[in-house]
Structure 1
Amino acid sequence: MSAAVGYTGTVYGLAAIRRLPLTLGLVLFLWVVGAVTGSLIAGPNEALLEQVGLGLALDAGPGWSIFTSSFFASSLLDYLACSVLILVGVGIAERTMGPWLALAAFIFGSALSALVLMGLVAFGTDNSDQWLSFLGGEYVVGAYGGAAAALGCSTAALEALWRRRLRTWLLAATLMFALFVGVAQTLQALAGAVIGILAGWAVQTLVLRRRAGSLHSSSLRETRFLVGTVVGVFALGPLLTQLTGTLEVGPLSVVSEVMLQASPSVDEVKEACDNDKSCVTLQSVVGVQSFGATILTVIPVLLLLVCAEGLRRGRRLAYRLTLVIQLYLAFVTSVAILQYVTDPEVTLGNDDVGYLLLYAVPAILAPLIIAALLLVNRHKFRVESSDAGYRVLGRTTLIMAAVAAALYVVFWFVEGNPNRSSLWDLAGQLTHILVPFPVPFVVELPQGLLSTVLYGLGGDVIWLCILVMVLNNFQRFRTLAKDPAADLGHTRELLHDGGGTLSWMALWDNNQYWFTPDRRAGLAYQVHNGVALTVAGPFGARQHHTEAATGFLAHCAALGLTPCFYSATSELDEALLPRGFRKLEVAEETLLNIQAMTFKGKEWQNVRTALNRAEKLSIKDHWYHYAEMPPGIRAQLAEISEEWVADKALPEMGFTLGGLDELKDPEVMCCVAVDDDGLVHGVTSWLPVFTDGVVSGWTLDFMRRRTTGFKGVMEFLIASAVTHFKDDVPHISLSGSPLANTGAATDDGDHSALDRVLAMLGNALEPMYGFKSLAAFKSRFQPEHRTLYMYYRDPLALPSIGLAVGLAYLPGLSRAQSAGLLRQMVAREPAA
């Protein structure tokens, strides 16, 4: 066993070396050089550092240092960080550009970013800049500039979606480190990122004469993405300064003072407790020095990250919350600086003024700039939650805040705090619980067990609940249809103009509708988990289908939804593939050319047997619209359907699978197998397919049989449909079997994560719904096959899309049933 594991590890290791020889070689070279020179633990010694390090003093050192500085690090932790950056930056560059171009990008990016860093420090020193001049007089080592340059250059070789994302994330990350940490290596990384991106753009457009290509997305989506990224960077920056300890010297490093709750020191706690040991112990367990205080420190970061995600989705709630937070931070920072400047005991010298200009002004300007950015783009964040969602969020928040405040006031008085503190301190302590950001004044700590517990943990409970509710609110949408009945009626009219074999399902419940501006075509879709999942492709006159598909993309962008076309035919290739979409095979539709079917030959033996048996048992096919059925037959259909549903561990499925309610459509035909005693043995329903106002086909939907009915009733019913429709239409569709064909490769060989998720879902549902056995049954009719695809654009949205598909098919799933389905999905073998 151990030998097999060792062999497998060796195989994977050799594969990695073959894929990334340059990247792994650079990492190995970095560590070997560090080990040989004794630099791994504390960096190069002083004599070696003067020769290989990048000098930021007046004497810049030898010229080769702009190259050699990239192959050393300042400490063991720095060696680990540089190794990760090389593996990510150079690794991606090597996979996309090849080893030689990646090596060139790393080496020249290191050298150029080093020169830029030296120039910036020299300029800051000459102009007495407090920040840049502080960086002078030291030696810098690290692979930061080269790795960032290689990654930035490699983005030119990526597809538009990933090119935009990687460039945005790279610039955002390096800018965050530069502004909040601000050491020389972070400035070099920022310079390397800019140099690499510019170099990639120049090679692509000027040398290779290739256009950079369209971003394949609207400016609306781009603006939301960029604004959300800015807010996310500003959220993570203060946390980064706390994690890096005394290293931070960046202009925005002081933002953490006004954004994150600071835990008092041990001496401050002792002073507040009057050296009472029990009080100090209580504060360390459940008070201001406990784990709860640490969580409270992170909550502002989580809140802004949630807002950043909401901004990316175009949410109005996220816009309002972010705007209030930024204005609050600017106000608190201004008050704190004003208090310091106007303090009569403080005398400001030239150095103090310089530090205020360097750190205080940016700390005020940063939230104001973000607030201005939000205000300028306010019309791009208009996606509203449902009215019920707003009511739940507002009511629950107010109740939690009121209960917490009331309890704290009661505990505060009962435990004798008025004897030690004032009502002003009580007000400050309440803001500590209800406001996740630091308050601009000092308050006394509470005394007593209950008040200390609520003071230390109350804010955590309230704000964590609020964060969960806000995220849940982002999943809700205000009803868009002003007149749902009119939209449904117009959809029926367009379906008569044209559509696919599954388009009639657009009339079913739980669907929303979008129409082109001239209302000549449209799409039906459902919103689940932030995904707009279409019901097949566009409907209406065929010449308008491309316009409908592309217009729907803009509609989804406006709502902050992820578009996904489900169970669509390849007719959407022309409209979607050039816009960066990919497609995944989700089903095989079975089409019958009924004009050529005679049921002769060995391959039709099962069908002929079913027809003969039905004749012997005096079972005949009766064709009805549901409203025309005799009451006795309708009662038996309900009985058969309930029997079928009761036999399943999960509720009846929806989305592209109709039930008894869908039979009631006045244009749907039903074929019922009835014997001479009036006993219904089975039923099928058929959905019409129109072209230019004329029925051009029929699609099988509802299939149910009585458990005690004669064997072969379904073969009999489908054969009866072939005979019934033969004189009217050229073909009929037996529809696709959902989730029965997942796991198959797409035309581009894509085996995506979603493919695996859908395969797991299909395997879990197979024992209960028999999709694969249904597909095998349909193959008895010698059909022609047509692939149905799912079109998606964003690979990062695949988990959300997979969940959306599951929610669409099983909308009434209870928590217990969801848990059972999840267990079945992860089981090695499906349940019997």
Structure 2
Amino acid sequence: MSAAGGLRGGFRGWATVRRLPLALGLALLLWILGAATGSLLNGPSEALLDQVGLGLAVGPGPWWSIFTSAFFASSLLDYLACTAAILVGVGIAERVMGPWVALAAFVAGSALSALVLVALVAFGTDASDQWLSFLGGEYVVGAYGGAAAALGCSTAALDALWRRRLRTWLLAATLMFALFVGVAQTLQALAGAVMGILAGWAVQSLMLRRRAGSLHSSTLRETRFLVGTVVGVFAVGPLLTQLTGTWEIGPLSVVSDVMLQASPDADEVKEACNNDTNCVTLQGIVGVQSFGAAILTLIPVLLLLVCAEGLRRGRRLAYRLTLVIQAYLAAVTVLSIVQYVTDPDVALGDDDFGYLLLYAVPAVLAPVIIVALLLANRHKFRVESSDAGYRVLGRTSLILAVAAIVLYVAFWFVEGNPGRSTLWDLAGQLTHILVPFPVPFVVALPQGLLSTVVYGLGGDIIWLCILVLVLNNFRRFRMLATDPAADLGHTRELLHDGGGTLSWMALWDNNQYWFTPDRKAGVAYQVHNGVALTVAGPFGAEEHHAEAATGFLKHCAGLGLTPCFYSATAALDGPLLPRGFRKLEVAEETLLNVQAMTFKGKEWQNVRTALNRAGKLSIKDHWYPYQGMPPGVRAQLAEISEEWVADKALPEMGFTLGGLNELKDPEVLCCVALDDEGLVHGVTSWLPVFRNGVISGWTLDFMRRRTTGFKGVMEFLIASAVTHFKEDVPRISLSGSPLANAGADTVEGDRSSLDRVLALLGNALEPMYGFKSLAAFKSRFQPEHRTLYMYYQDPLALPSIGIAVGSAYLPGLSPAQSAGLLRQMVAREPAA
């Protein structure tokens, strides 16, 4: 590392300490006390716990233990976990509320959550509760209650979007740990989270005099987010119980037994293999004790997490899959309980019935509650994939399943398994391959190399492929336009009523359309990576633009899309900013006041030189639509365009950059620089801008010049446009230069992640497309500048939006071109 790099790293580290002195100080105090008392490896000694720990089974302990218990941990792993909880919970609270309020929230939260925990244990002991009477030990230490309380309290100072989101995540995480792990620290964290959120709500309502507010989006999005969070918690919880080993005692800890495939121990494998050494070895390498078996354990978790993401997007496929999975889990749990209760070898006592009520009933109720939640909100999940997407998913899944069945049955017979197993065993083994969840009956293990390989890895291959297909299915939509030709025609009609300088681009290919209920305004957009990326702002009569913008947000919410208005003017501040949107500058539009331009003065020397040179070379400007051009001129335009594209390592760009196809619109005007011999030196195209049925301006789009043409042909063409349009419209637009100023004029520390992505993309494309040089060229005409913005609502969607912008401008990139673009984006210096 260079000295400068090391110095910058040191400054950043010191800046972090200055921003989070309280969180870092509390974490340091935790470790200093642990080291001083020899508690880092195995926790405090019994004598020390009697003084600083919160007593559960031996009485509550001294009064100060409700404070001191937060500054110790039970093991090295617990010290690491407490440190993470402090840095996250107290760190966020410190940044939001300040160090003193955050410290008060941490200390008060630690004490109050400790009192709640003692009260719960006392209640459980009096009621002889199997869970609350013993929560994993005699003493409790840990900073979880205080950290959760500080984080919950800090949400009061956040804006509506992050306040609701952080509260949901905090409650979901602490509730998951409490129900699935269930030790005392998890209950204390849940109590701290609840009290912190309540305290934050009280501060927000009584002191800050602010209402709870909303996300400023439809309840549809909120409901989907909540249901997806519930399903996600239920997915991760069983995995927690397996990772925590024998610690888990929560009411839902047994769910992992019916949801996750359990790997048999060595004795069980030997018994299933009849002590055959070769069989035992195979099971350890490619069978039920192999890496493939560990992957199969994760499949149900991944499947439910994919479903949770689909539910957040409102996907019907995710809704159906979740219903089937939860119904299956409930049925298997009930069947397992019935088998246990009716087993003649099992004699149930009072304690057994208590454990059944504590663990079996919640294990059944959890999936039943999720099913009921889904059914009650079934109308919220109506977003369907395309028919082609469903066909690909169904066909591929069927092919994988049939191939696995055929191969396994063939190997099973060839390797002599019929002599050791029955056909019923074969059916059970096929169930193990095709169903990622445990089956409620004993399955014999196969013997033989090939059958064991398919048995151990077949389910992994099938379900990982299905997961990828399901995720890909979430990216597809049924045709959003019932009649694309009619929508295109209506869009053209509305564009004559009004729109911005870039609105005519709505008629280009790859666009979808949404119209207000009265069809007096609309929005053109493209869907990429789950983002609805608009082509500029709304079009139609200007008085309907605000209604169209807010209506489009509801349309996106219904489809589970992330709305993003791209290359829009500040006119959208009114309808969007009050709804929690932020804006980012993406381009500077150059506007020319043609009626005031005379090309006199020193600053116009380059333009006058181009006009004079064109006159000497007998080059004139010819104006006509593409269809009105002589065939020879059209042929030369195609030749010039192909020559320009051939010089680029990447394909021709789209979205807000037109090509040769966009010239063919009959209402688009072209200006061609022709000499006396009919040679085309350059061409520009101009898009009309309408207001109330009358052309009010023109926008420059297509610009191409012959490489052997005269040097100032573009200055000549734009100067000709100024003269041509001067009598008809007050001003014309030279359009914006996309990505030319991404990342410019921003302080490094204040730049958003998307701004950095756009800057990288712009720098990578600059050597090939010259956006910055194009912007510099336009500045020669002394234009007025108008900023074009990108409006977005959710900061967590910025990576998806960045990918969507790249996909819109460069659709259909080949893998090689994508790799080259990525290399250019991460390069320190742009290629020459």
Q: TM-score, normalised by structure 1?
A: 0.99
**Pairing 1:385-400 to 2, within 5 Å after superposition:** 385-400=385-400
The answer on 1:139 being equivalent to 2:144 is: no
Partner of 1:686: 686
Aligned to 1:258: 258
| Map of 1:574 onto structure 2 | 574
What is the aligned partner in structure 2 of residue 677 from structure 1? 677
Shift of 1:13: 3.1
Deviation at 1:119, TM superposition (A): 1.1
- Do the aligned partners of residues 424 and 595 (structure 1) sit closer, same or farther apart at CA in structure 2, a change above 3 Å counting? same
CA offsets, 1:221-262, max 9 Å, x none?
000000000000000000000000000000000000000001
Partner of 1:541: 541
The answer (yes or no) to whether the contact 1:125–1:136 under 8 Å persists in 2 is: no
Question: Equivalents in 2 of 1:753, 1:8: separation in Å?
Answer: 20
Query: Does the residue aligned with 1:732 lie in a helix, a strand or coil?
Result: strand
Q: Contact 1:585–1:746 at 8 Å: present in 2 too?
A: no
Question: Take 1:242 and 1:730, find their aligned partners in 2: how far apart are those partners?
Answer: 72
CA deviation string 1:415-473 (max 9, x = no partner): 00000000000000001111100111111100100000000000001100000010001
Give the match for residue 20 of structure 1: 20
Q: Which residue of 2 aligns with 1:241?
A: 241
> SS where residue 133 of structure 1 aligns?
coil
Residue of structure 2 equivalent to 1:361: 361
Matched AA of 2:604? W
Is the contact between residue 650 and residue 817 of structure 1 (CA under 8 Å) also seen in structure 2?
yes
Aligned position for 2:531: 531
Going from structure 1 to structure 2, the CA distance change for 1:13 and 1:774 (only over 3 Å counts) comes to closer
Match of 2:330 in 1: 330
Name the structure 1 match of 2:454: 454
* Cα 1:748–1:723 shift into 2, 3 Å: farther
C-alpha contact (below 8 Å) 2:149/2:196 kept by paired residues = yes
Q: Corresponding residue for 1:277?
A: 277
Q: Which residues in structure 2 correspond to 1:412-423 (within 5 Å)?
A: 412-423=412-423
Contact 1:383 1:558 in 2 (8 A): yes
Deviation at 1:744, TM superposition (A): 2.4
Name the structure 1 match of 2:64. Answer: 64
Distance, in Å, in 1 between the alignment partners of 2:2 and 2:510 is 54
One-letter amino acid matched to 2:289:
Q
Distance (Å, rounded) in 2 between the aligned partners of 1:231 and 1:211: 29
Is the Cα contact below 8 Å between 1:590 and 1:736 reproduced in 2? yes
CA 1:749–1:663 in 2, change beyond 3 Å: closer, same or farther? farther
Matched with 2:378 is 378
Structure 2 counterparts to residues 454-493 of structure 1, below 5 A? 454-493=454-493
The corresponding residue for 1:411 is: 411
Most deviating of 636-645 and 350-359: 636-645
Contact 2:761 2:825 in 1 (8 A): yes
1:756-780 per-residue CA deviation (whole Å, 9 max, x = no partner) reads 1111111111111111111111111
**C-alpha displacement of 1:755:** 0.6
Q: How many angstroms apart in 1 are the aligned matches of 2:653 and 2:54?
A: 66
* Secondary structure of the corresponding residue to residue 586 of structure 1: strand
Question: Partner letter of residue 728 of structure 1?
Answer: D
1:17-416 equivalence runs, <5 A: 17-57=17-57, 59-135=59-135, 138-416=138-416
Q: Which residue of 1 aligns with 2:628?
A: 628
**In 2 relative to 1, CA 354–683 (structure 1 residues): closer, same or farther, beyond 3 Å?**
same
* Residues 1:613 and 2:607 are matched in the alignment: no
Shift of 1:5: 6.2
Contact 1:593/1:783 (<8 A) preserved: yes
Distance 1:747 1:577, change over 3 A: farther
Partners in 1 of 2:237 and 2:411 — Cα distance?
37
User: Is contact 1:121-1:136 (8 Å) kept?
Assistant: no
Any conservation in 2 of the 1:475–1:530 contact (CA below 8 Å)? yes
Q: Which residue of the partner structure matches residue 646 of structure 2?
A: 646
Structure 1 segments, 4+ long, off by >4 Å, are 1-9, 745-750
What is the rounded CA distance, in whole Å, between the counterparts of 1:625 and 1:666 in structure 2? Answer: 6
Instruction: Tell me, in whole angstroms, the C-alpha distance in 1 between the residues paired with 2:144 and 2:85.
Output: 7
CA gap 1:673/1:162 in 2 versus in 1, 3 angstroms: same
Superposition deviation, residue 207 in structure 1: 2.0
CA contact (8 A) 2:583 2:792 kept: yes
Q: Residue 246 of structure 2: SS of its match in structure 1?
A: helix
Q: What is the CA–CA distance in structure 1 between the aligned matches of 2:731 and 2:135, rounded to whole Å?
A: 78
Rounded to whole Å, the distance in 1 between the matches of 2:791 and 2:665 is 29
The amino acid of 2:763's aligned partner reads: N
Match of 1:713 in 2: 713
CA contact (8 A) 2:622 2:674 kept: yes
**Deviation (angstroms), 1:620:** 0.7
- Residues 587 and 7 (structure 1 numbering): CA distance in 2 closer, same or farther, change over 3 Å? closer
Find the aligned partners of 2:598 and 2:650 in 1 and give their Cα distance: 39
CA deviation string 1:474-506 (max 9, x = no partner) = 000110111111111111111111100000000
Instruction: Describe how 1:581-592 pairs up with structure 2 within 5 A.
Output: 581-592=581-592
Quote how far apart the aligned CAs of 1:319 are.
0.4
Which position in structure 1 is the counterpart of 2:752?
752
Whole-angstrom distance in 2 between the partners of 1:683 and 1:547: 38
The corresponding residue for 1:783 is 783
Specify the code of the residue in structure 1 equivalent to 2:786: R
> In structure 1, the residue corresponding to 2:134 is in which secondary structure?
helix
Give unpaired runs (5+ residues) of structure 1. Answer: none
Amino acid at match of 1:345: D
- Which string of whole-angstrom CA distances, capped at 9 and with x for unpartnered residues, describes residues 281-322 of structure 1? 111111110000000000000000000000000000000000
SS in 1 for 2:549: helix
* Secondary structure of residue in 1 paired with 2:480: coil
Matched to 2:804, the amino acid is: A
Please give the alpha-carbon distance, in whole angstroms, between the structure 2 residues aligned to 1:63 and 1:424: 63
Please give the secondary structure, in 2, of the residue aligned with 1:132.
Answer: coil
Shift of residue 38 of structure 1?
1.9
C-alpha separation between the residues in 2 aligned to 1:204 and 1:576? 24
By how many angstroms is 1:213 displaced? Answer: 2.7
Aligned partners of 1:662, 1:356: CA distance in 2, in Å? 70
Q: Which moved further from structure 2: 159-168 or 689-698? A: 159-168
Q: How far 1:562 sits from its partner (Å)?
A: 0.4
> Are the equivalent residues in 2 in contact too, given 1:584–1:746 (CA < 8 A)?
no
Give the whole-Å Cα distance in 1 for the aligned partners of 2:179 and 2:263.
Answer: 24
| Count of paired positions | 832
Q: Percent identity?
A: 86
SS at match of 2:588: strand
The letter for the 2-side match of 1:100 is W
Report the counterpart of residue 765 of structure 1 in structure 2: 765
1:746 Cα shift? Answer: 6.8
* Structure 1 letter corresponding to 2:254: V
SS in 2 for 1:634: helix
Residues 583 and 746, structure 1, Cα contact 8 Å, conserved in 2: no
Verify the 8 A CA contact 2:553 2:563 in the aligned structure 1.
yes
8 Å Cα contact 2:135/2:182 also seen in 1 = no
2: distance between equivalents of 1:482 and 1:680?
42
Question: For residues 148-191 of structure 1, what are the alpha-carbon distances to aligned partners after superposition, in whole Å with 9 as ceiling and x for unaligned?
Answer: 00000001111111111111110000000000000000000000
How far apart in 2 are the matches of 1:825 and 1:16?
28
Distance 1:784 1:377, change over 3 A: same
| Corresponding residue SS for 2:131 | helix
Residue identity opposite 1:466 in structure 2: I
2:556 corresponds to: 556
- CA distance, structure 1, for counterparts of residue 668 and residue 546 of structure 2: 28
SS in structure 2 at match of 1:245: coil
Q: Give the Cα separation in 2 of the matches to 1:481 and 1:517.
A: 14
User: Which range is displaced more, 810-819 or 226-235?
Assistant: 810-819
Return the offset for 1:643: 1.2
Tell me the distance in 2 between the aligned counterparts of 1:750 and 1:2. 25
Distance 1:749 1:415, change over 3 A: closer
**SS in structure 2 at match of 1:709:** coil
Structure 2 unaligned regions, length at least 5: none
User: 1:549-582 CA deviation, whole Å, 9 max, x = no partner?
Assistant: 1111111110000000000001011111111111
